[in-house]
Structures are given as structure tokens and as C-alpha cells.
Amino acid sequence: MPKRTLLIIGNGFDLKCGLKTRYIDYWRYQRKNHPSFDTFVKYLEDNSFNSFEGENLDILERIIEIEDGVTFLDYYFTLYDWALRRLNKDKAWSNIEDMLLYGFTDSGSIKTFNFKGCYYCYMQTTNAERKDTFFYDSYAHLIISKYLSKVFDDETIGETNFRKYIISEINSFSICFSNYINEQVKENSTYYELAQTLISKITNATLNECEIVSFNYTEPICGLNLANIHGIASKRKIVMGVTCGDGSKKEAAHHSWYYKATKEYKIASVSASGIKVSANYEDITDIYVYGLSLGKQDYDFFDNLFDEFEFLMRIYKAKIHFCFSTYAGKTKDEVVEETTSRVTELINSFGDHHKSYGLLRSMIQKGHLLFDFIE
């Protein structure tokens, strides 16, 4: 039986190979290449205000311009971070999946900064009988309403058309981000060489022995043994959306107006376009995980993976290696603690869900769970 290895990689892999693929990198790129958007962000950065001062509102309304290559979501995500008082910090745009999910949250509170609130405020501020906007509690919503008034040239639109607009802007944002990733790869001439070296370092296997599942939009190698579960930037087909959740939340999402904005739907769409999104688990003896945040947005994938892994452990005595490197100035001890915390939470969550208590300890004691430090 030939030894086969499965490597699962996330954004930390591309960062290690020199690509600037974080959302904050894209945000800075947008600012650098779109003067009006940059002017808008600078005004938010340089001014501290929480109320509806007429002068601030007039200035913001003049600053906002509709530019090619800048989407509604660029403004929305920026205001989301600004509203949380973390604009221009490394945490900005750190998890747009959660921001999108929050945006789609159907809250009845007008103080909640979501898409429903954006629409509500827009309708109020364009209503000829209600020009007084000082009643509104959310300054971020008010700014967005001014942006939308320029998008639609002060034409009032219905909620159905607004919903279509949100979905189309997510698709537009995905294309803009794809173009940015493609530019990053083009500018980094050593990416493919570094990627293949890193693959060998992590797995101690040849590329022919290695099956790869990538959560990234890049293609570190060419061939049939690479699956891009989130699509491929070079084909401008990428998965950028919200998770469906569990149980009743997932069922509700299946019947929601924004279902086409969920990762579940988008992965199906990417697969239908001909992009490989699944791996071949046959004869896998070692699984290596590198560069993933292991956040809750990844739990659905790992839930399915662990179902396969239970079979692989019985048949092939397979092992799963959670690999890590230092990054962003963190010490090895700090990254060890971070990795340990995320892995234990992930496996305990799976074990508890399947009433397999003590799964973590059992996997470690039987040698099925390993931690590998990668220089």
C-alpha cells in the first residue's frame, strides 16, 4: 500500500510564502488605489464624533463618491470596524464572514448595524415627507444611507431590489478581491518555489504523494491532487459568504433570501463550475493542517473530516498533525499556547457533539494527534 499524505492549508500558508492575503492588506490596497475611498477613511480616522453634527454629515456626503473597483461592502466593512472603534488596527476586516453574518442578522433594532437597518435608514432619508435624519440612532447607518442615495441617484427602491443589490455587491467584492490576489501572486515571483518548499517541509513527502485541500484562493501547485474548497482567484470564482450555522439556524438559512450568499451555496456553485473542491482520502496515512485559524467558521469542514479520520485511524493507523510557525512577532511559546487552545477546542467540540467524551486525550495517547513546529 503506497503512503499518501493529505495537507490542509489556510491563509497562514500563503502569508508564510510572502503573499499579503489578509483582508486588511486588501483594505490598504483599496485605499492606495482609490483616492475617494481613502479620503473617506481618513476623515473617519481623523475625526472623533458620535452624533449627527450637520457639518460632519455634509462633509461626509460630499466625500462619498462611487468609484469603479470599490463596492458597497468596502464602505460597510470599514464602517463596521469604525463603529467598534478599531479602524486602522490589525484587527480591521479580520473576519468578514462574521461581519457578513451580522449584516444579514434580521434584527428589529434600528440601532443594530446590519443590512436591514441600512435599508430602513435609506428609505427614511429619501422619504420626501421625512427629511429630518436626526431621529436616527446609528451614525454608521446614516452614512450608508448617503452612499446608497448616490448609488441609486436618489431613486427610492423596494426591499426586494435592495436585497438583490446586496447579493450582487458580494459578488462584485469577490471579483475585486480575486483581482487583488492575482496581482499579489503575479508580483511575488518566488511564490510557487516557496510554496512547494513549504509543502515538502510540512509533510516530508513528495508532491506526487501529497493530496492538498486549500482554503485559499491561490494554486500553490498544478495538478489533479489540489482541491480549492473556496474556489480559485485566477478563475474569478471564489467562495466568500456566511456560514449556515447548525440545526434550526441552518434550516432557516436554506429558506432565507440570502441563501445564495452562504458558503454552502457558493461551494456548490464553484464545484458546478468545474473547480475541484474535495480530496481523495483513499490510502491516507498522515493528515497535516497548516495555516488555518481553526475558528468556528471551519467547524463544518472538520466535522466531516473527523468522520473520515475515524475510518482512516482504524484502517491505516492514520495520524493528524496540527502544524504551526511563529508569525506577526509572536514567540514560539505564544504560538504553541494559541495552537493548543484552538485545537483542543475544535476536537472537544466534535467529541462533545458526538458524545465521544475524552476524545482528545484518547487521540493523543494513541499517537493519532500530533503537533509539529515548522521553522
pLDDT digits (tens, 9 = 90+) for 164-206: 999 999 999 999 999 999 999 999 999 999 999 999 999 998 8
Which grid cell sits at 143?
Answer: 452614512
What average pLDDT score do residues 265-292 get? 92
Beta bridge partners of 156: none
In the block, cell 473527523 appears at 306
Residue type for 192, please?
Answer: Y
Rounded to 10 deg, the angle between the 23-33 and 35-46 helix axes is 110
| DSSP character at residue 358 | T
Nearest to 214 by CA among 71, 373, 368, 6: 6
For the cut 70, the answer to whether the pLDDT of residue 132 exceeds it is: no
Helix (H, G, I), strand (E, B) or coil at 77: helix
Residue type for 105, please?
Answer: T
Longest dimension (CA), the chain: 76
What average pLDDT score do residues 365-375 get? 92
Domain positions in the chain: 4-19+190-229+278-373, 23-172
Cα–Cα dist 30/353, whole Å = 42
**Range with the largest mean pLDDT of 86-95, 138-147, 212-221:** 212-221
More confidently predicted of 209 and 15 = 15
In the block, cell 504560538 appears at 335
The whole-chain average pLDDT of the chain stands at 86
Cα–Cα dist 104/82, whole Å = 19
Tell me which of 2.30.30, 2.60.40, 3.40.50, 2.60.420 is the CATH number of domain 4-19+190-229+278-373: 3.40.50
Q: Provide the pLDDT confidence category of residue 295 given band limits of 50, 70 and 90.
A: confident
Question: In Å, what is the CA distance from 304 to each residue of 116, 254, 281, 301?
Answer: 33, 19, 12, 5
Cα–Cα dist 59/57, whole Å = 5
What average pLDDT score do residues 218-239 get? 92
**pTM for this structure?**
0.90
Specify the DSSP element, H or E, that contains 55.
helix 54-63
